[in-house]
A and B are shown apart, each in its own frame.
Chain A
């Protein structure tokens, strides 16, 4: 049986209230040690206040071939972006 430690993906939430963000990966034998390692490897510079670890094999990713059907439609919805709307200068910052 292979003794290579499984790979984990690490997500860290920073100080500023933003959502957890993928910061990288690491190896660990189990989930508790993965959390310990994540703290030691990815928050050495005070980067985070909360950590998630997920076994890499437990992540389901969209296939690159699906990129167009999945993401292209949202490209057409330009009205979701603030720059779609012209606001007169007199109104001031919005």
Chain B
């Protein structure tokens, strides 16, 4: 993998952003044709298309930084699970539609402020990808918010399902705003934001929205993390073989 000639922290940043988008895009693309209503088949596919598009920008950039000729496709389809840098949240299985919407909500609520902050990155390529993605993420969050509020404060069953989804997924949300040494180094260089500030914004937003949705998060729940440094949950080990199968079974083939 990385050799050291290039900026390793910038490489890691692009992988983290790109892998989050890729894995979540892969997850929600599986709903196409199976959503609860036709309008959602279409809308969710739009979100998936945005995310996979973003992934190809971030991963293409990561390949450039690395300078060893790897393309976005090489990085997406030929890396092993331990080399993926997405957070644990996005790789969690789709579950019922409530889980899918809650996972999206918890992600979007971090993704948008993160992208907005990255538009101020000292690296102009990062800033450009972030600016394009932030426009898309603005709508993603709007949609997620609309659904979580409505279904949380909807029927008894929809409330129960959304609360259940929150209980399962909430522990994974913490990883998004939990800074490690790479995040700190990125912030020091002006390449990335202070995750602490984004975390504070995230908390304030969640308190406000979950109240509207009549849902309760367990703020004391221990954070489940590791994906950012390649320590994944078992779920990723099932997603990748499916996604990468064709590329791996026909090495070197052009599609």
Q: Are A and B direct contacts in the complex by CB distance below 8 Å?
A: yes
What distance in Å separates the Cβ of B79 from its nearest Cβ neighbour in chain A? 31
Mask for A1-19, Cβ within 8 A of B = 1, else 0? 0000100000000000000
Complex: A27 Cα to B36 Cα, angstroms: 13
Mask for B36-53, Cβ within 8 A of A = 1, else 0? 011100110010000000
Q: In the complex, what residues of B have CB within 8 A of residue A40's CB?
A: 39, 42-43, 46
Q: In the complex, what residues of B have CB within 8 A of residue A30's CB?
A: 150
Total residues of chain B contacting the partner, CB 8 A: 11
Contact A32 B39 (CB under 8 A): no
Complex: A19 Cα to B207 Cα, angstroms: 42
What distance in Å separates the Cβ of B212 from its nearest Cβ neighbour in chain A? 14
Complex: A5 Cα to B39 Cα, angstroms: 11
Contact B146 A36 (CB under 8 A): yes
A33 interface residue (CB < 8 Å to B): yes
Which B residue's beta carbon lies closest to that of A38? B39
What distance in Å separates the Cβ of A38 from its nearest Cβ neighbour in chain B? 9
Complex: A18 Cα to B43 Cα, angstroms: 26
Q: In the complex, what residues of B have CB within 8 A of residue A32's CB?
A: 146
Given known A32-B146, A36-B143, A36-B146, contact A27–B37 (CB-CB < 8 A)? yes
Complex: A6 Cα to B226 Cα, angstroms: 45
Q: In the complex, what residues of B have CB within 8 A of residue A37's CB?
A: 39, 42-43
Q: In the complex, what residues of B have CB within 8 A of residue A44's CB?
A: 42, 46
Mask for A32-70, Cβ within 8 A of B = 1, else 0? 110011011100100000000000000000000000000
Complex: A40 Cα to B139 Cα, angstroms: 10
Q: In the complex, what residues of A have CB within 8 A of residue B146's CB?
A: 32-33, 36
Q: Which residues of B (174-226) have their CB < 8 Å from a CB of A?
A: none
Q: In the complex, what residues of B have CB within 8 A of residue A29's CB?
A: 150
Chosen A-B contacts, 16 in total, with CB atoms closer than 8 Å, are A5-B37, A27-B38, A28-B39, A30-B150, A32-B146, A33-B146, A36-B142, A36-B143, A37-B39, A37-B42, A39-B139, A40-B39, A40-B43, A40-B46, A44-B42, A44-B46
For the complex with contacts A30-B150, A41-B43, 5 further pairs of A-B residues with Cβ separation under 8 Å are A5-B37, A36-B43, A36-B142, A40-B43, A44-B42
**A interface vs B, CB < 8 Å?**
5, 26-30, 32-33, 36-37, 39-41, 44
